[in-house]
Amino acid sequence: MEITPEIKEQILSTARVLSIPMRVKFRGVTTREVVLFEGPCGWAEWSPFPEYPDEEAAIWLKAAIEFAFTDFQPKAKTVKVNATLPAVDNVREVLEPFGKFEVVKIKVAEKGQTLEDDIRRLNTVLELYPETRIRLDANGAFDIETALKLSEYLLKNNINLEYLEQPVKTIAEMAELKLKLKQLGDIKIAADESVRKVSDPLAVAQANAADILVLKAAPLGGITNAIAIAEETGLPVVVSSALETSIGLSMGAYLAAELNSPYASGLGTATLLKMDISTESLLPESGQIAVTRVRPEDQKLDTLTDRKSDMVNRLTRITSKSHQF
C-alpha cells in the first residue's frame, strides 16, 4: 500500500500515544506504549517495542495501516483463546482473571530463572487447573540440551502438552531439536521468532524445523501477508498477540477467524493490562473473544495519553521514509 500524503495526514492527525501499565511484568515490560490512529475502516494500533529498529517497526506500521484502511469482514463471531502466564510465582492471581480456559501458555526460560523454576510453575498450574492443556514458550532462550531435558520431564510425567514454542533460537537448532525429539516421543515444536524475526518467514517450514507456526499479524505486516504465509507453508497455525490493547487484538481476532485454526489463539492478553482503552475490551469470556473492531473511549484516551513520548516523532520519521510497503 502506498503511503500517500492523504494517508499520512490521516494517520498523523488522529494518532494518540498511550502508556498503559501492565498488571504483571511480562518479558521485562511493565508499561505498554502504543500508538492508536483512525482510518476510514476503523481504529488501528501501532505498538512496536522500543528496542525495535525503524525497519522492523515499519512492518508493524504496514499492518496497522492495512487494518485501518481495509474493510475486512469477520469470518466468525468469536475465536477461542488461551490463558497466558508470565514467568511469575503468583500463578493463581494472574490466571484467575482469564476465567474459564482450556489451554494455558506458560513463559519459561526467563533470564535469571532456572529449569527447576519453570517446572515448579508448571506444576502449580496443573495443581490449580488439572484438566488444562499446556503450551511452554521459551522465546528461543533454551539450548538444545535443556530443551531435551525439559521434554524428558514432560513425557515422563504425562503432561498434557500441546507444544513447545520457540524452544531454541535458530532455525538450524530447531531442526536438530525436532529430529532428537522424535526419538523421545510425541512433542511438537511451534515456531514464533523463527517466523517473524527472519528475512524469510517460510524458511522454518522449508527446513522442516517446526510442526506449527505462531503467526502475529503486526510483526508479519498485516492480515493479508499472514494469511499468505499460512497458506504457502501448509502447517497448522496459532494466531497470537504482542501485548496489544483491544484495538491491536481485534486485528489478530480477524486473522484467527480467517484462518479457522483448531488451536486456541493467544489473543486473551488484554487481561495482563491494568486497564484497556474501551468498554468493549476484548477480555476472554468462557475462553473466547469477539471478532469485532474496537473504538477507544475519549475519556480513556485523555487519561492514558503520554505527551512525553517520542513515538509520534518515530511515526513521522517512518511514514516519511516508507513511501510504499
Concatenated DSSP letters of 86-123: -S-S-HHHHHGGG-S-SEEEEE---TT--HHHHHHHHH
Vertex 133 angle, CA 131 and 138, to 5°: 140
Label residue 163 exposed, middle or buried (CB < 10 Å: 0-12, 13-18, 19+). Answer: buried
Marked catalytic residue, from 75, 216, 300, 308: 216
Marked catalytic residue, from 105, 107, 149, 274: 107
Is 321 among the catalytic positions? no
Question: Residue 44 has which C-alpha cell?
Answer: 488501528
C-beta of residue 58 within 8 angstroms of C-beta of residue 321: yes
C-beta of residue 16 within 8 angstroms of C-beta of residue 36: yes
Question: Residue 104 has which C-alpha cell?
Answer: 494455558
> Residue 144: in which H helix or E strand, if any?
helix 144-156
Where in the sequence numbering do the catalytic residues fall? 107, 216
